[in-house]
Chain A
C-alpha cells in the first residue's frame, strides 16, 4: 500500500514525466514556428530556405508515390548491414587488443591513421574496389562504425577492477566463465555507449557512399532532388536521414535498457 507521502508526490512525478516527453516536442514546434516566421517575412529567399508547408508537401508527395520509403529502405539496409559488420569487427578486435597489449602496439598506429582520415576521402576508392552496388556503401558504413565500438570495447574490458579478476582467478574460473560472468557484464555499459555512437554514425557512412555513386538511397535522393532544384525534397531527405539515425539510436538505447535491467535492479 502506498503511503500518503507517495500519493502526494504522484502528480509531481507524472508532471515531470510528461515534461520530459513534451520538452523535445516543444523545441521542435518552436523551431518550425521560427522557420515559418523567417519564410513569411522572407528574411531568407525561399529558393534557399523553402517554407515548412512546401517541405510538408514534398514529404506527403514522396510518401504517397512510395519513392521516399524505397530510398529510405535502401539506406536502412546499408546502415544495418554496415553496423553489424563494423560492430562485429570492433568487438572482436577490441577484445583481442584489450587482452593482448602487444597487439595494440602492432595495430594502433594503423587503426588511428585509418580512422583519422575522413571517410569522404576513401569513399570514391571504395566504389572502385567494391563496385557500384550496395557493397561499397556497406563497407563505408562498417568502417565508420568500427572505431567507436573498438575504443569502447577496449576501455570496457580494461576498466575492470583488478580485485574482481583476482576473485575469478581464485575461484579457478575458466576463460569462458570469466568472459561470460565478469568481463561481458562489466564492460557492457561502456560497449553499449559505443554502440549508440556507432548507430548515429551509420547513416553518415551509408549516405557518403551513396553520394559517390548510387541509384537508390537517401544520398542519391538528395543529389537527384538538388539537380532538379527541388530544395523541399532535399530537406525531406535530410530529415529522413535524421529520423533513421534517431530510430537506430533509440533501438540501441532500448536494447541497453533491457539488457541493463539487472544492473538497475541490483542498484535499487
Chain B
C-alpha cells in the first residue's frame, strides 16, 4: 500500500531536485557598520529590503561596532566587509592591518563646525581664542578639526579645545563652547530645532562650516580584507556592485529608502500620514525615474519633495527624513565610490600633523582600490 506512495514522493523529489540546484543558496555575509542603527545607513537597509544584495548572491546581516573593532575584525577575517572612515584605514595600515578600501561611500567629508550665526565669523581665522567642543582627540572629528585649522593657518594652540564627548547639541546650547565639531548632515539640524523651540540659550540660528569646503579628505567607505581581495575578487566585485546599486537607488528615491529603513531603525518616526505621504512620493519618484532624468533633475526632485513635506509635517516628525536628504548631498556624485590619491594624501598629511603616524612613511597605493568601482560601471 505504502510502496506506490513512496515511489510517487521519490519521483516528485527527482523532478523537483534540478530546479532546487539551479538556484544557488545565498551566501551569508556580515557587514560591520559603526554607530547604531540610523537613517544614515539607509543604503544598506534598502540594499537588503529591495533585494540588491540578494540579487548579487548575498544574505546580508548588519552589526554595529566602534570603528577600531570594525577594522580589526575585518583585518583578521572575522568579517569580510566593514564601513569605516578613511583616516582609520591609514592608521590601521600603519599598525599592520592589511585592509583595502574599495568604495568611497561619502564623497564629501561629513565633519564640520557649528556655531551661533550671531558669532558672525568672517573667516576661519576668527576662530582664534575661541572654545571649540570636540568629542575627543580621536576619530574623524579630530581629523576634520585639524584639517580645518590647518586650512586657516591655525594650530590647536590658537584655540581652546574642550572634550565634550558626543554631546555637542546639549553642550553647545548650554553655552559651554563657542563652536562644536559635529557631523554636518545631522547635528546642525538638531541644534537648529532646539533653537527654534527656544531650548538653546540665546542662540536663534546656527551656521555651519564644513571641512569639505576647505579640503578634500578621504571619507567613509567600504573596506575588505586582503585575503578576500586575493582569493575571491569576484565576490568583492558583486558586493561592491550591489552596494553601488543600493546607494544610487537611495539617492534617486529617498522616500523608498526611508520606508525600507523602518524595518531596521526602531526610532524612526512612523506616523501613518507621514508613511502614506512617503509611499505616494516613492511611487511618483519611481515613475519619474523611468524618464531617465539627469543627476541635477533628481536633486531638484528631492528638493521639491522636501518642500512639500515640510509644508505638511512638523519639524520633529520630518527630522529623520531631512537628515537622510542632507546626508544624500554628501554621497551624491557623477561617479559613486571612486576615491582619489589626492584625498588620501591630504588625509595622511593631516594625521601626520596630528602626530598619529610614526616616522615610517605610510604607503597609500595599496590602501585603496578603485578596480571594483570601475568594473561595476
Q: Which A residues are within 8 Å of any B CB, using their own CB? A: 45, 47-48, 124, 127-128, 131-132, 212-215, 220, 223-224, 226-230
Given A47-B75, A48-B76; A213-B91 close (CB under 8 Å) = no
- Any A CB within 8 A of the CB of B356: yes
- Any A CB within 8 A of the CB of B79: no
Given A47-B76, A47-B97; A128-B167 close (CB under 8 Å) = yes
Interface residues of B in 143-172 (CB under 8 A from A): 161-167, 170-171
Listed stretches B132-140, B207-215, B301-309; interface member: B132-140
Q: What chain A residues lie within 8 Å of B161 (beta carbons)?
A: 215
Closest to A227 in B: B138
Given A227-B138, A229-B68; A124-B75 close (CB under 8 Å) = no
- Any A CB within 8 A of the CB of B92: yes
A224 to B163, CA, bound (A): 13
Q: Is the CB of B71 within 8 A of A215?
A: no
Partner of B95, one of A128, A213, A230: A230
Given A47-B76, A128-B167; A228-B137 close (CB under 8 Å) = no
- Any A CB within 8 A of the CB of B96: yes
Partner of A127, one of B76, B94, B137, B167: B167
Q: Which of A45, A124, A213, A214 has the most CB of B within 10 A?
A: A213
Closest to B162 in A: A132
- Any A CB within 8 A of the CB of B176: yes
A226 to B91, CA, bound (A): 10
Q: Is the CB of A223 within 8 A of B96?
A: no
Q: What chain A residues lie within 8 Å of B164 (beta carbons)?
A: 127, 132, 213
Q: Is the CB of B72 within 8 A of A47?
A: yes
Q: Is the CB of B167 within 8 A of A215?
A: no
A215 to B66, CA, bound (A): 19
Q: Is the CB of A124 within 8 A of B165?
A: yes
Closest to B355 in A: A228
Rounded to whole Å, the gap between the CB of B97 and the closest CB of chain A is 6
Q: What chain B residues lie within 8 Å of A48 (beta carbons)?
A: 72, 76
Q: Is the CB of B167 within 8 A of A213?
A: yes
Q: What chain A residues lie within 8 Å of B91 (beta carbons)?
A: 227-229
Closest to A220 in B: B136
Q: What chain A residues lie within 8 Å of B171 (beta carbons)?
A: 127-128, 132
A214 to B139, CA, bound (A): 14
Q: Is the CB of B165 within 8 A of A223?
A: no
Partner of B71, one of A45, A213, A229: A229
Q: Is the CB of B138 within 8 A of A213?
A: no
Q: What chain B residues lie within 8 Å of A124 (beta carbons)?
A: 165-167
Partner of B165, one of A45, A127, A227, A230: A127
Closest to A45 in B: B76
Q: Is the CB of B68 within 8 A of A132?
A: no
A132 to B138, CA, bound (A): 16
Rounded to whole Å, the gap between the CB of B246 and the closest CB of chain A is 29
- Any A CB within 8 A of the CB of B174: yes
A228 to B356, CA, bound (A): 7
Rounded to whole Å, the gap between the CB of B190 and the closest CB of chain A is 15
Q: What chain A residues lie within 8 Å of B95 (beta carbons)?
A: 228-230
Closest to A123 in B: B165
Q: Is the CB of B96 within 8 A of A132?
A: no
Q: What chain B residues lie within 8 Å of A128 (beta carbons)?
A: 167, 170-171, 174
Given A227-B68, A229-B91; A214-B138 close (CB under 8 Å) = no
8 additional A-B residue pairs with CB within 8 Å, beyond A47-B76, A227-B91 = A132-B162, A132-B176, A213-B136, A213-B163, A223-B138, A229-B92, A229-B94, A229-B97
Q: Which of B162, B165, B170, B174 has the most CB of A within 10 A?
A: B165
Rounded to whole Å, the gap between the CB of A230 and the closest CB of chain B is 7
A132 to B164, CA, bound (A): 6
Q: What chain B residues lie within 8 Å of A45 (beta carbons)?
A: 75-76
Rounded to whole Å, the gap between the CB of B76 and the closest CB of chain A is 4
Q: Mark B81-125, 1 if CB is under 8 A from A, else 0.
A: 000000000011011110000000000000000000000000000
Q: Is the CB of B71 within 8 A of A224?
A: no
Q: What chain A residues lie within 8 Å of B138 (beta carbons)?
A: 223-224, 226-228
Q: Which of A131, A229, A230 has the most CB of B within 10 A?
A: A229
Rounded to whole Å, the gap between the CB of A268 and the closest CB of chain B is 54
Q: What chain B residues lie within 8 Å of A212 (beta carbons)?
A: 165, 167
* 21 A–B pairs (Cβ distance < 8 Å), ordered by A: A45-B75, A47-B97, A48-B76, A124-B167, A127-B165, A132-B163, A132-B164, A132-B165, A132-B176, A212-B165, A215-B136, A215-B137, A215-B163, A220-B163, A227-B68, A227-B91, A228-B95, A229-B71, A229-B92, A229-B95, A229-B97
Partner of A131, one of B66, B92, B176: B176
Rounded to whole Å, the gap between the CB of B228 and the closest CB of chain A is 16
Closest to A212 in B: B165
Rounded to whole Å, the gap between the CB of A128 and the closest CB of chain B is 5
Rounded to whole Å, the gap between the CB of A114 and the closest CB of chain B is 21
Q: Is the CB of A224 within 8 A of B137?
A: yes
The 4 closest A-B pairs by CB, nearest first: A227-B138, A213-B165, A229-B95, A45-B76
Q: What chain A residues lie within 8 Å of B165 (beta carbons)?
A: 124, 127, 132, 212-213
Rounded to whole Å, the gap between the CB of B308 and the closest CB of chain A is 37
Q: What chain A residues lie within 8 Å of B176 (beta carbons)?
A: 131-132
Closest to B354 in A: A228
Rounded to whole Å, the gap between the CB of B93 and the closest CB of chain A is 9
A39 to B76, CA, bound (A): 14
Rounded to whole Å, the gap between the CB of A214 and the closest CB of chain B is 6
Q: Is the CB of B96 within 8 A of A47?
A: yes
A215 to B167, CA, bound (A): 15
Closest to B95 in A: A229
Interface residues of B in 42-98 (CB under 8 A from A): 66-68, 71-72, 75-76, 91-92, 94-97
Q: What chain A residues lie within 8 Å of B170 (beta carbons)?
A: 128
